[in-house]
Structure 1
Amino acid sequence: MSKTFTKSDVASHNKADSLWIIVDGDVYDLTKFQDDHPGGKKILTRFAGKDASKPFWKYHNDGILKKYKPSLQIGSLDTKPKPEPAPAPAPAQAAPQPTKEVKKAAAPAAAKEDAEALEPYGSLIPFGDPSWYQGYHSPYFNESHAALRAEVRQWVETDIEPNVTEWDEKKDVPREIFLEAGRRGYLAGLLGVHYPVEYVKNAVKAVPPEKWDLFHELIITDELSRVGSGGFVWNILGGFGIGCPPLVKFGKKALKDRILPGLLSGEKRICLAITEPDAGSDVANLTCEAKLSEDGKHYIVNGEKKWITNGVWCDYFTTAVRTGGEGMNGVSLLLIERDFGGVSTRRMDCQGVWSSGTTYITFEDVKVPVENLLGKENQGFKVIMTNFNHERIGIIIQSLRFSRVCYEESVKYANKRRTFGKKLIEHPVIRMKLAHMARQIEASYNWLENLIYQCVKMGETEAMLRLGGAIAGLKAQSTLTFEFCAREASQIFGGLSYSRGGQGAKIERLYRDVRAYAIPGGSEEIMLDLSMRQSLRVAKLTGMKL
């Protein structure tokens, strides 16, 4: 049970050899922390034995409190209000049985039961979370989605968010976090397909595997993105989420049986290797070559890949290679294993997403068994295009949550920071900035929900053809929204968003990550052009009248 102290108790610990402070009614012993305090010892000494809540929140965000609270808090003030106990559930009562006439009259209402609003969840800042978190009715989400949301958020807030800044500076995330994602069954739910129970040791607790859908996948990506670090999200989801689906969908059974259990548990890692120094969005013109050996048992692979997420840590590389002539009809997809030899990787330093492990890969006479071909020879372009929809939806989800992070952090700061005698939120120009952020986020997110629902209802081939243009358009829309929100948040935070760490840490970090979302998966310009070309082509085939 937590100890309680009076203010007099705390006041007596006001020296360097015994230094206590109060933050929001909780008592912290900082005696041994003084040498580690980034602001130096003197500022701590100034508030020794006192309530330091106001100066603490002036310089720090809640992530700092979450990080240090477990190790430094020793109790609370005796005057701090105790949390209200949760009310006991009401005893179940047998409902009266309706007559046939009542049943008939109630039929329309009964049909709407699935769309009942869920309990409000989170901070309830308007537009800070999707509307279904805030008591709005939704046809897409139910109790299983809410349960998964709570499970992921608890893990993120306890074990991840307090450490993300440190991991980003180190340009890495502890392997244990990726392993935990596997143990929790989250990795198996990020493949854009049914939940592959046959290859999983531990399935997700909150959701029966047979009820898993693409909205559950959205929730995992969305909740992980709340930490406000593209580097972290790409470390966990980046390579895996785009490198593993082609293996699941197009790999031979023996290959999947051998490799998938290790991937879904987190013990092994995989990435997608398509982009080359001279072939980014222009996938059809890649040059990494795979020649069949004389005995027909192996492909001999030579070439380079660039900007490959997670590549430095990976055991497997889902690799686009040229097995035939020029253009898209000469492209195949191979699963290359690092153990084959001839694979070398080196980390690339980039503007943002520091902890994602961006990699330059060189393949030199790598012998790849023909059994590692994914799909059919010279038909890999179709596999790659199918995979792009899933990749782009992941980018959309992350971009829109990062936009919300920029917005939510701005609302919190604007309600705390005072200029010219009043809070920032009381200035119309600040509210206008927030309004423009919110309108773009909400419009884009509603489009996202609709597209995911279409993916649920359509077959994969139909979705690839009919939704490819819309998904490309929303990919551009979401990254433009992210860029806008990052800029506006930076303006609201001012100089705090220009220095790393502190209250503006998330905004500074996300501003660096913007280009990593605007370019990969198809640059904004290419996406917008593709959205029109693809949509018009499909409409012409399905009866468009001009």
Structure 2
Amino acid sequence: MMKTVFTKEEIAQHSSPNDLWIVVDSVVYDLSKFSSIHPGGVSVLFDEEIAGKDATEAFFSLHRQEVLEKPQYARLRIGTVEGGVAKVKRGGRESLSEVPYAEPVWLRKGYHSPYYSDSHRRFQGAVRKFVQEVVFPDAQAREEDGKPPSQSVLDAMAKMNIIAMRLGPGKHLKGRVLMGGVIQPEEFDQFHELIMWQEFARIHARGYNDGLGGGTCIALPPVLNFGSEELKKAVVEDIFGGKKTICLAVTEAFAGSDVAGLKCHAKAMETGWIEGNVLPNTLQNRLLTAMQKWITNGTFADYFTTACRTDEGKIVVLLIPRQEGVLTRLIRTSYSASAGTAFIEFTNVYVPKVNQLGVGRDGLHVILSNFNHERWAIITWSIGVQRVITEECLKYVTLRKVFGKPLSSQPVIRAKLAAMISRFESCQTWLENITYQMKHMDYSQQANELAGPIALLKMFTTGAAQDTARDAVQIFGGRGITRSGMGKFIEHYHRTLLIDAVGGGAEDIMADLGIRQALRKMPKSVRL
């Protein structure tokens, strides 16, 4: 029987180029055949503090723990150290972190919150397990190759009804089994949704998350809220089932944040012929010509919720299936192509009247009705990422040695960490207050009272994110601008975070919106 427990003296005998053992966290690794192909070079392995010795500290100062779990390295294990005790926690990513501030207050042992119940705690545990086991591996792979999220992940999300839950509470959840029955549809509230967004933020894959249904979250609500029963029956379940995808096609090169300035033209059609097809005798049918830009999920979407201007100058909203005359192509952005960010051309695309959303309503109202929710989701995600990025930094500063001491011994580093924590904890508290108001307000109250606060919080949160990204890169140094290794999540965050500052309304627009709403509410009777 092969020996699997070794004394320190036995291990020390294996320190030559052709016979090299090391110890990492009480596990013995035979690197004899591996040393010549070590990605970091051969010489580092023959340091007098590594070859034949306990190299735990050296290893974790250069590598992430996940390296040890990779099959090509796991097979190098040959045993354990006699009397050795593993000190590094081997718990999966689905468990709660013990790092200070890595979890929101309501999840920390001994803390309390008025907003969350046992239902929220059960839900959080189920979502984290799902995200880390099902979503995270695919997210990391797709961020690398730029392909859309795998269909298997969409199918798994549909089975748990996550696609439906990402639209928030509502009658669309009635009768569905949520997260395998962990909670009931009538329990699901805005705080369950907040939990879901912040758990998905832990995948460290901004483009992938948008590819996973960013378009659905902003394009399907207008269909649910303003579409005919016939139209909803035709498209909604396929989307919730992960079989079809939808995007919001509103942004134009000429308009941008000025939604009211869009030029997309929908020409009314009377009885006539288009490519051999007779059109019904009604002015409600449309012939669409337009160019849209920066459309999330556009490259692979099956449906396009599109705002258009009529001959009379009015805005209408149409649901357009992918068909002849619809051309999409990828726009390369600073974050992953897995988001499917697209340039879209609609050329003589026929749209029947049943596909108009909000008939008899102002089309601008139909489009703007979901903006508060979109911005709230962006805020929620951004705060979640800032928290996990700070967790990365807290781990790193305790491992990294400079001038013979941990990096955390430097006052300037501690000051950066203090600023990072202060920012995201402040944002989280403001977010939870707004979320509580959302839970207790109907739509008209939310539109009247919360558009300004949400806009201001979005401005503040995405500005804080940029400060946090800069501080994190400074803490990690060269590793913070390297796409692999210890700082890979920092590099990714710094490269991709600006989508949150621009998407759903740029920071300056948000600031102005928040103050304009406040000024409209100023009483005329006040004086200094």
Report the Cα offset of residue 156 of structure 1.
Answer: 2.6
1:170 is aligned with what amino acid?
A: D
Report the Cα offset of residue 307 of structure 1.
Answer: 0.6
Is residue 60 of structure 2 the alignment partner of residue 57 of structure 1? yes
1:335 is aligned with what amino acid?
A: L
Question: Are the counterparts in 1 of residues 317 and 357 from structure 2 also a CA contact under 8 Å?
Answer: yes
Structure 2: unaligned runs, 5 residues or longer:
88-94, 271-280
Question: Are the counterparts in 1 of residues 27 and 80 from structure 2 also a CA contact under 8 Å?
Answer: yes
Aligned to 2:91: none
Question: Are the counterparts in 2 of residues 309 and 356 from structure 1 also a CA contact under 8 Å?
Answer: yes
Aligned to 1:171: 146
TM-score (norm 1): 0.83
Larger % of helix: which? 1
2:385 is aligned with what amino acid?
A: F
TM-score (norm 2): 0.86
Report the Cα offset of residue 54 of structure 1.
Answer: 3.0
Output one character per residue of 1:116-139: Cα deviation in whole Å (capped at 9) or x when no partner: xxxxx7223332221111132111
1:113-132 matched pairs, under 5 angstroms: 122-132=96-106
Is residue 122 of structure 2 the alignment partner of residue 141 of structure 1? no
Identity of aligned residues (%): 38
**CA-based RMSD:** 3.2
2:144 is aligned with what amino acid?
A: E
Report the Cα offset of residue 250 of structure 1.
Answer: 1.5
Structure-2 change in CA distance of 1:256 and 1:20 (3 Å): farther
Report the Cα offset of residue 388 of structure 1.
Answer: 0.6
Question: Are the counterparts in 2 of residues 496 and 504 from structure 1 also a CA contact under 8 Å?
Answer: yes
Aligned to 2:505: 522
Output one character per residue of 1:378-409: Cα deviation in whole Å (capped at 9) or x when no partner: 61211221211011011101111121122111
1:461 is aligned with what amino acid?
A: S
Question: Are the counterparts in 2 of residues 332 and 377 from structure 1 also a CA contact under 8 Å?
Answer: no
- Partner of 2:308: helix, strand, or coil? strand
- Partner of 2:255: helix, strand, or coil? coil
Rounded to whole Å, the distance in 2 between the matches of 1:73 and 1:200 is 47
1:126 is aligned with what amino acid?
A: P
Aligned to 1:24: 25
Rounded to whole Å, the distance in 2 between the matches of 1:142 and 1:449 is 14
2:151 is aligned with what amino acid?
A: R
Question: Are the counterparts in 1 of residues 268 and 311 from structure 2 also a CA contact under 8 Å?
Answer: no
1:417-432 matched pairs, under 5 angstroms: 417-432=400-415
1:434-473 matched pairs, under 5 angstroms: 434-473=417-456
1:245-264 matched pairs, under 5 angstroms: 245-264=221-240
- Partner of 1:267: helix, strand, or coil? coil
Rounded to whole Å, the distance in 1 between the matches of 2:265 and 2:199 is 39
- Partner of 1:128: helix, strand, or coil? coil
Q: 2:190 aligns with which of 214, 223, 233?
A: 214
Aligned to 2:127: 152
Q: 2:80 aligns with which of 59, 77, 81?
A: 77
Structure 1: unaligned runs, 5 residues or longer:
84-120
Is residue 307 of structure 2 the alignment partner of residue 331 of structure 1? no
1:117-516 matched pairs, under 5 angstroms: 122-135=96-109, 136-162=111-137, 164-172=139-147, 173-194=149-170, 196-197=172-173, 200=176, 204-294=180-270, 295-296=281-282, 298-323=285-310, 325-326=312-313, 330-338=314-322, 340-376=323-359, 379-516=362-499
Report the Cα offset of residue 197 of structure 1.
Answer: 3.7
Point out the more displaced range, 445-454 or 248-257: 248-257
